[in-house]
Structure 1
Amino acid sequence: DAITNAKSGTFSEDPNFKCYIKCLLDQMAIVDEE
């Protein structure tokens, strides 16, 4: 699936998947600031 592919370096072109990754990165950035 898309998440497994991403872990192996294969990123989906699905806009929803890109949004999901952006949300993950945003959450990690918020955690890092604390």
Structure 2
Amino acid sequence: MKHPFLMAILSKKKKKTELERVLLFGFYVVFKAN
């Protein structure tokens, strides 16, 4: 299941900082829980 919001972030930023990785992981967990 792909979310446009997440895909936009992933395609927009090639280099991710640790904070961005944590945020993306957090979003993933939230979406999986729902």
TM-score range, shorter chain: 0.5 to 0.7
Once the two structures are superposed, residues 1-34 of structure 1 have per-residue CA deviations (whole angstroms, 9 ceiling, x without a partner) of: xxxxx61603432000000000000000000xxx
Higher relative contact order (CA 8 A, sep 6+): 2
Instruction: Classify the secondary structure of the residue corresponding to 2:26.
Output: helix
Per the normalisation by structure 1, the TM-score is 0.60
Compute the RMSD of aligned alpha carbons.
2.0
Among all aligned residue pairs of Structure 1 and Structure 2, give the percentage whose two residues are the same amino acid. Answer: 0
Give aligned pairs, total: 26
